[in-house]
């Protein structure tokens, strides 16, 4: 990686070495920089621009009116100004005023009194507080000195460039260069490197010093260490972009929605500013950067907002909500799109994605586009560029212990931790109640209540009832900083891009509670299993199914169809346990189904809090008003210090009450195992399982621990595909054994997989060895042809290509017979078979049909499969023999393209549904050879 980066740096350096910067170059650099701060001024035609101008004018006017200059401060609330946080924030306020002075349409545009006020304030800070002679005091935050203050100061100096004397410009540039200091540290990576490089480039632009511009430019590529810490490449440790879509900051914290966005913002601004100079950054260096837009950032956004599970301690900042980071990422896309060196197809896609972010926002002025973002979006709208399709499917980022699942109308994100990844970040007196944020926190976002996590959730939520988490109710002490979890297992896999599986070996920070936890992300539901729930703290251990911040409208709640109502729109306050709760429904969320028929507790309460309860950093001490919100909490009480508790439930986001009741009456999934050794579910022709210590399900035996999913794939279920991963990231190999008479030849396999057949020249019995050393938890796949499938490639309506395909196939869930008195089950609980890049098995060779002939195709009626109703009885787990179920035919010829990887497309699962036929039996195939391998539904059992 370093050698490759070194070659790129050398080539780019050679192109710039013979072209020194001229005064014309510096003038263009300043013009482009100014445009990134003020926006490109065009005719105002957008409500967003009017709103941004009004907001900018009002904020600047407020700052001017509240000025109280003295020897100790410019603003009284930022006193004493010699503290780094106060002079940095003073610069940021002065930048806002300078923007209002520089942009036509504001109330301060070219007001000489405003200009003089800003210049005098700069002189005061520069002479007394922050200059080339200042020494950082012990205990001060280095970020204010090296990044925060320099970036604000550069913007001010460029906005007022023509109004500043050459001496002032020189002093400002010298101050920035001196306080940034050395940039050769190997620890300087990711967002911090991008910020510092941008500030250096700006300092050189202010003073017309090419050496400073050059230093900042080549720091981006880490020329000093041959590209070892180049922000254009993937990293293997520390801060930055990782393989598989992860972004880490401070070595162990997932941060694509915070530091990752800041990384992209500063890099995109540098790319934009330098694009017309000899020090430009061309697209040959930006391949990894552009690819990560889809793999790292799009999957962690919902409705234009950055999800909370990848924002670290930023969730505790009132002034930086999820929409703020979504808007900042939008601005990065606009900077890239406004750079001619970026290929046109990329620029168009960036604008398309920016428009999708803008249109998806549930409340456009939730935080509000700033003036640069507003002008940029106005241009995109004038170009009539359509929005990009939102991501659909499951996205796993194993290097950061995160899984995202996107469906039409809702999305989910799971935050886990391990011996590799920190549980939470609590730094600089921020995020003061984070104890269980990395212990299986399940975020669920829905169209029914799109602002759930933006509605003052973080200061009012119950930190001891975090959705998805199993924990003791004993009080926790002050949070520590920078430590990982106790266990290795945290991760899972995606199944053909549409479904997901995750598992967490949970042991709390104080080691007072533990559990084996699994999540199954399906098309219309999330199934959660827990086993081995135990405690040692002398307190009750709870598993929280839900803790919902209730909106005023849409908060009606029912249990088994009976509504709990006091006043219209609000549920009555209570705390109670139901022994016979089968399902529940919340209007502002959807449904909850309790699969194991055990007691469930419900609590409705008013919760009070202040943002300063969770953030004591000086930047955010102004948010001390008391806030009241109403919460609905659903949880399982395992008792005091349990030894082997368990749970099983399903979430149905965006479902109706009727759909929830149907799911509870006749579950479309079957929980086959829920023990500390094995947790698994089966639906249609698919089985998903976490083998905590190995075991057997049907024809498949896992010799070593692993996460695994197997089932039918391809056109007409032609293949049996197995996906497997090592969530511990500590194993060297995974060994599986299959004795399935329906397995034929190999259609496709990853290079990491080796096969050993049981008998030479025969099929059906095979040992699969997967080399997972150094794989970092990624998914490995192998596909076999099914002997019971008898057809030719030429007879199919679509011929699988020899390599990956973007076609998806959807099958309707196998229906189960219910008692006559019950309602018809929900029709939209379906299982999808689709393919992402690398998922589609290649076909084996078949004899070609005669030229010009097309095989006739017919669809046979399929009878529903009988199933046993789930029972409460606890029985020892028996090995479940798998038996295939037939599927009903459902077709849909519409096709909708969804962006899945940069520069590629895939079809959305619900947009194309290819009909599935009953496999034919060819002469010579015995009945035993065609015996189905997926089981009929078996009663839910729990074994300890």
pLDDT in the model for residue 565: 65
Going by pLDDT thresholds of 50, 70 and 90, the confidence category of residue 566 is low
**140 vs 817, more confident:** 140
Mean pLDDT of 897-913: 34
Q: What is the DSSP letter of 886?
A: -
- Collapsing DSSP states into helix, strand and coil, what is residue 755? strand
Mean pLDDT of 152-166: 98
Going by pLDDT thresholds of 50, 70 and 90, the confidence category of residue 270 is very high
604 and 499 fall within a common domain: yes
Indicate the residue among 388, 417, 439 that finishes a domain: 388
Q: What's the pTM value of the predicted model, to 2 decimals?
A: 0.83
357 and 411 fall within a common domain: no
* Spacing of C-alpha 720 from chain mean position: 29
690 and 678 fall within a common domain: yes
pLDDT over threshold 90, residue 318 = yes
CATH of the domain at 466: 2.70.98.10
Write out pLDDT tens, residues 21-52: 999 999 999 999 999 999 987 788 888 999 99
Going by pLDDT thresholds of 50, 70 and 90, the confidence category of residue 572 is low
CATH of the domain at 223: 1.50.10.100
205 and 73 fall within a common domain: no
381 and 421 fall within a common domain: no
pLDDT in the model for residue 798: 34
468 and 575 fall within a common domain: yes
Residue 748 domain-assigned (yes or no): yes
CB-side neighbour CA atoms (13 Å) of 513: 30
Residue 865 domain-assigned (yes or no): no
Most confident of 17-21, 694-698, 938-942: 694-698
| Cα–Cα separations (whole angstroms), residue 799 to 314, 416, 794, 803, 870 | 49, 40, 7, 11, 41
pLDDT over threshold 70, residue 445 = yes
Mean pLDDT of 768-781: 96
Count of CB atoms situated within 10 Å of the CB of 728: 21
Rg (alpha carbons) of the chain, rounded to whole number: 30
**394 vs 896, more confident:** 394
pLDDT in the model for residue 185: 73
Going by pLDDT thresholds of 50, 70 and 90, the confidence category of residue 479 is very high
Residue 794 domain-assigned (yes or no): yes
Residue 242 domain-assigned (yes or no): yes
218 and 141 fall within a common domain: no
**565 vs 95, more confident:** 95
Q: How many domains does the chain have?
A: 4
620 and 512 fall within a common domain: yes
- Contact between 362 and 382 (Cβ < 8 Å): no
Written as one string, the DSSP assignment of 498-510 is: TEEEEEEEEE-TT
Least confident span in 354-363, 366-375, 436-445, 570-579: 570-579
Pick the closest to residue 520 from 686, 398, 675, 685 (CA basis): 686
Mean pLDDT of 365-379: 87
pLDDT in the model for residue 790: 66
- Contact between 650 and 524 (Cβ < 8 Å): no
As a whole number of Å, the end-to-end CA separation of the chain is 48
Residue 77 domain-assigned (yes or no): yes
- Residue for token digits 């990044």? 147
pLDDT in the model for residue 758: 81
pLDDT in the model for residue 393: 96
551 and 570 fall within a common domain: yes
* Spacing of C-alpha 303 from chain mean position: 12
Indicate the residue among 602, 635, 665 that finishes a domain: 665
- Contact between 809 and 778 (Cβ < 8 Å): no
Write out pLDDT tens, residues 76-102: 999 999 999 999 999 999 999 999 999
Count of CB atoms situated within 10 Å of the CB of 744: 19
593's CB contacts (< 8 A; 6+ apart) are: 525, 582, 583, 649, 650, 652, 660, 663, 664, 667
Q: Determine the Cα–Cα distance for residues 363 and 167; give it in Å rounded to an integer.
A: 46
Mean pLDDT for the chain overall: 83
Q: Determine the Cα–Cα distance for residues 253 and 266; give it in Å rounded to an integer.
A: 20
| Cα–Cα separations (whole angstroms), residue 502 to 516, 535, 636, 661, 698 | 11, 23, 20, 26, 21
Q: Determine the Cα–Cα distance for residues 723 and 494; give it in Å rounded to an integer.
A: 8
Q: Convert 343-374 to b/e letters by CB count within 10 Å (16 or more is b).
A: eeebbebbbbbbbbbbebbbeeebbbbbbbbb
Mean pLDDT of 271-285: 94
pLDDT in the model for residue 939: 35
- Contact between 8 and 285 (Cβ < 8 Å): yes
Going by pLDDT thresholds of 50, 70 and 90, the confidence category of residue 187 is confident
Q: Determine the Cα–Cα distance for residues 458 and 434; give it in Å rounded to an integer.
A: 10
Mark residue 681 as left, alpha or beta (left: phi above 0; alpha: psi -120 to 50; beta: remaining): beta
Going by pLDDT thresholds of 50, 70 and 90, the confidence category of residue 553 is confident
Structure tokens at 784: 């076999």
Least confident span in 272-281, 429-438, 459-468, 830-839: 830-839
pLDDT over threshold 70, residue 288 = yes
Q: What is the DSSP letter of 773?
A: T
Write out pLDDT tens, residues 258-268: 999 999 999 99
Residue 275 domain-assigned (yes or no): yes
- Collapsing DSSP states into helix, strand and coil, what is residue 96? helix
Residue 409 domain-assigned (yes or no): yes
Q: Determine the Cα–Cα distance for residues 86 and 519; give it in Å rounded to an integer.
A: 46
Q: Determine the Cα–Cα distance for residues 916 and 804; give it in Å rounded to an integer.
A: 21
Pick the closest to residue 303 from 402, 443, 465 (CA basis): 443
Structural domain span for residue 649: 393-665
- Contact between 454 and 305 (Cβ < 8 Å): yes
* Spacing of C-alpha 134 from chain mean position: 41
pLDDT in the model for residue 791: 58
Q: Could you give phi then psi for residue 602, rounded to 5 degrees?
A: -130, 140
Q: What is the DSSP letter of 841?
A: P
215 and 360 fall within a common domain: yes
Indicate the residue among 356, 388, 420 that finishes a domain: 388
411 and 313 fall within a common domain: no
Pick the closest to residue 55 from 16, 19, 103 (CA basis): 103
Q: Convert 752-788 to b/e letters by CB count within 10 Å (16 or more is b).
A: bbeeeeeeeeebbbbbbbbbbeebbbbbbbbbbbbbb
Going by pLDDT thresholds of 50, 70 and 90, the confidence category of residue 18 is low
Pick the closest to residue 318 from 413, 415, 430, 423 (CA basis): 430
Least confident span in 241-245, 296-300, 362-366: 362-366
pLDDT in the model for residue 873: 37
493 and 568 fall within a common domain: yes
pLDDT over threshold 70, residue 944 = no
pLDDT in the model for residue 795: 44
pLDDT over threshold 80, residue 478 = yes
The H-or-E segment that residue 771 falls in is strand 765-771
pLDDT over threshold 60, residue 554 = yes
CATH of the domain at 726: 2.60.220.10
**What is the percent of the chain where pLDDT is above 70?**
80
Q: Convert 617-647 to b/e letters by CB count within 10 Å (16 or more is b).
A: bbbbeebeeebebbbbbbbbbbeebbeebbb
pLDDT in the model for residue 567: 58
- Collapsing DSSP states into helix, strand and coil, what is residue 155? helix
Going by pLDDT thresholds of 50, 70 and 90, the confidence category of residue 227 is confident
Write out pLDDT tens, residues 792-850: 544 433 333 333 333 333 333 333 233 333 333 333 333 333 333 333 333 333 333 33
Residue 91 domain-assigned (yes or no): yes
């Amino acid at each position: 990686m370093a050698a490759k980066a070194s070659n790129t740096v050398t080539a780019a350096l050679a192109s710039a070495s013979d072209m020194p910067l001229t005064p014309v170059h510096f003038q263009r650099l300043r013009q482009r920089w100014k445009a990134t701060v003020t926006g490109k001024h065009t005719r105002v035609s957008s409500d967003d621009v009017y709103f941004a101008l009004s907001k900018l004018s009002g904020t600047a006017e407020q700052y001017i009116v509240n000025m109280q200059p003295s020897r100790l401060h410019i603003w009284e609330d930022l006193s004493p100004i010699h503290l780094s946080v106060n002079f940095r924030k003073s610069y940021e306020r002065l930048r806002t005023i300078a923007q209002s002075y520089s942009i036509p349409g504001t109330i301060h545009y070219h007001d000489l009194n405003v200009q003089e006020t800003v210049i005098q304030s700069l002189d005061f800070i520069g002479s007394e507080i922050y200059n080339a002679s200042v020494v950082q005091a012990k205990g001060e935050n280095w970020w204010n000195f090296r990044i925060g203050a320099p970036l604000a100061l550069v913007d001010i100096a460029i906005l007022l460039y023509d109004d500043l004397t050459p001496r002032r410009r020189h002093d400002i540039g010298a101050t920035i260069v001196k306080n940034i200091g050395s940039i050769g540290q190997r620890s300087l990576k990711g967002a911090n490197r991008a910020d510092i490089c941008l500030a250096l480039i700006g300092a050189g632009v202010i003073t017309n010093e090419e050496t400073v511009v050059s230093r900042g430019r080549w720091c981006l590529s880490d020329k000093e260490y041959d590209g070892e810490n180049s922000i254009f490449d993937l990293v293997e440790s520390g801060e930055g972009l990782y393989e598989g879509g992860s972004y880490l900051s401070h070595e162990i914290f997932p941060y694509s929605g915070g530091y990752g966005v800041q990384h992209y913002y500063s890099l995109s601004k540098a790319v934009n500013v330098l694009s017309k100079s000899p020090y430009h950054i061309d697209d040959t260096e930006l391949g990894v950067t552009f690819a990560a837009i889809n793999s790292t950032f799009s999957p962690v956004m919902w409705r234009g907002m950055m999800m909370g599970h990848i924002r670290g301690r930023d969730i505790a900042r009132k002034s930086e909500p999820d929409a703020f980071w979504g808007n900042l990422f939008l601005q990065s896309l606009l900077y890239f799109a406004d750079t001619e060196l970026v290929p046109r197809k990329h620029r168009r896609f960036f604008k398309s994605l920016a428009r999708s972010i803008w249109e998806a926002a549930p409340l456009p002025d939730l935080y509000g586009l700033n003036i640069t973002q507003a002008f940029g979006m106005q241009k995109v709208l004038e170009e009539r560029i359509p929005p990009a399709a939102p991501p659909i499917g499951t996205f796993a980022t194993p290097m950061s212990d995160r899984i995202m699942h996107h469906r039409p109308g809702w999305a989910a994100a799971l935050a886990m931790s391990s011996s590799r990844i920190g549980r939470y970040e609590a730094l600089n007196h921020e995020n003061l109640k984070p104890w269980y944020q990395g212990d299986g926190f399940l975020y669920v976002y829905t169209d029914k209540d799109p602002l759930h996590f933006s509605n003052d959730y973080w200061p009012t939520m119950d930190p001891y009832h975090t959705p998805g988490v199993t924990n003791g109710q004993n009080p926790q002490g002050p949070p520590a900083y920078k430590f990982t979890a106790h266990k290795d297992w945290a991760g899972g896999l995606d199944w053909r891009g549409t479904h997901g599986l995750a598992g967490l070996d949970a042991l709390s920070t104080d080691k007072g509670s533990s559990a084996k936890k699994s999540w199954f992300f399906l098309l219309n539901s999330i199934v959660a299993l827990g086993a081995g729930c135990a405690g040692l703290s002398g307190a009750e251990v709870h598993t929280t199914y839900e803790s919902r911040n209730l909106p005023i409208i849409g908060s009606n709640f029912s249990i088994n169809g009976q509504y709990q109502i006091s006043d219209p729109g609000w549920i009555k306050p209570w705390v109670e346990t139901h022994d016979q709760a089968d399902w529940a429904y919340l209007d502002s969320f959807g449904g909850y189904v309790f699969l194991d028929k055990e007691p469930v507790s419900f609590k409705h309460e008013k919760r009070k809090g202040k943002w300063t309860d969770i953030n004591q950093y000086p930047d955010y001490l102004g948010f001390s008003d008391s806030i009241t919100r109403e919460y609905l909490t659903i949880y399982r009480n395992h008792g005091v210090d349990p030894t082997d508790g368990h749970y099983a439930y399903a979430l149905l986001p965006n479902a109706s009450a009727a759909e929830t009741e149907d799911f509870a009456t006749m579950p479309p999934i079957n929980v086959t195992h829920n023990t500390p050794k094995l947790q698994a579910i089966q639906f249609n022709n698919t089985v998903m399982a976490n083998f905590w210590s190995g075991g057997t399900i049907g024809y498949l035996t896992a010799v070593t621990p692993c996460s695994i999913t197997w089932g039918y794939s391809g056109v007409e279920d032609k293949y049996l595909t197995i996906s497997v991963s090592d969530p511990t990231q500590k194993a060297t190999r995974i060994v599986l054994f299959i004795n399935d008479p329906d397995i034929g030849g190999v259609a496709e396999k990853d290079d990491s997989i080796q096969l050993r057949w049981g008998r030479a020249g025969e099929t059906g019995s095979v040992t699969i060895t997967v080399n997972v050393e150094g794989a970092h938890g990624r998914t490995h796949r192998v596909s076999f042809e099914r002997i019971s499938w008898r057809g030719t490639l030429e007879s199919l309506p679509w011929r699988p290509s020899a390599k990956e395909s973007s076609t998806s196939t959807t099958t309707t869930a196998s229906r189960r017979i219910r008692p006559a008195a019950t309602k018809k089950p929900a029709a939209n609980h379906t299982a999808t078979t689709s393919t992402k890049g690398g998922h589609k098995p290649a076909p084996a060779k078949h004899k070609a049909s005669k030229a010009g002939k097309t095989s006739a195709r017919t669809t046979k009626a399929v009878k529903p499969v009988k199933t046993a109703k789930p029972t409460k009885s606890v029985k020892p787990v028996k090995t479940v023999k798998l038996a295939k179920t037939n599927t009903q035919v459902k077709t849909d010829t519409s096709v909708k393209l969804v962006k899945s990887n940069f520069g590629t497309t895939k079809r959305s699962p619900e947009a194309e549904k290819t009909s599935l036929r009953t496999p034919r039996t060819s002469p010579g195939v015995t009945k035993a050879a065609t015996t189905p391998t997926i089981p009929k539904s078996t009663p839910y059992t729990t074994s300890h």
